[in-house]
Amino acid sequence: MAYIAKDYGKLIGMEGFSDTLLNNHFTLYQGYVTNTNKLLDTLAKMLNDGQTATPEYAELKRRLGWEFDGMRLHEYYFDNLGGQGSINPEGALAKKLAEDFGSFDAWEKDFRATGAIRGIGWAVLYQDSATGRLINFWINEHDIGHPAGCMPLLIMDVFEHAYMVDYGIKRPDYIEAFFKNINWQAVEERLG
């Protein structure tokens, strides 16, 4: 069963994100979906043809993590956009953030600092499924550094393609726009 790119056209017109930036980003995401499907098809054929002991199979298997995670992280990212940027202070997520970070403001300060780290990658608020604890992580590449057994709750893309069209090298301005558009309901629904 092939993966199908989701339509995020509802985000067009979102404050702080130009239509050009969003359409470019949607096209990039669609490429991850296409490449995930191509890799899965090719790997299935190689498995069927007994070609699993080849360097080509190994490299394609490694590449699958990059393409699949690129697809899925973008889906989480786009799904957690389009809101009004205000968390429900009485909601379960706000209470959990305050519990684990001391306050919502302390969490936000840490998340913004994580997103401002030099380099390309993702800032992700994860929930540890073993303990329930919330932790902000820097993920350098799509397929490297994800904490095992953790659920991504809030995802901020900080690869240049997510902001440079609109903000150039002013990543803090992009982070500000991101926070104004968080769909906190979608994030809270991910909370375990």
The CB density around residue 1, as the number of other CB atoms within 10 Å, is: 5
Which residues sit opposite 123 in a β-bridge?
138, 156
142 has binding-site annotation: no
Q: What are the backbone dihedrals phi and psi of residue 2, each rounded to the nearest 5 degrees, phi first?
A: -80, 150
74 has binding-site annotation: yes
Collapsing DSSP states into helix, strand and coil, what is residue 183? Answer: coil
> How many residues in total does the chain contain?
192
Contact 165, 21 (CB under 8 A): yes
Tokens of 71: 């697809």
Contact 123, 158 (CB under 8 A): yes
146 has binding-site annotation: no
25 has binding-site annotation: yes
Q: Residue for token digits 């002991």?
A: 53
CB-based burial of residue 30 (10 Å sphere; 0-12 exposed, 13-18 middle, 19+ buried)? middle
Binding site as annotated, residues for Mn(2+) = 25, 74, 157, 161
* Residue stretches of the annotated binding site: 25, 74, 157, 161
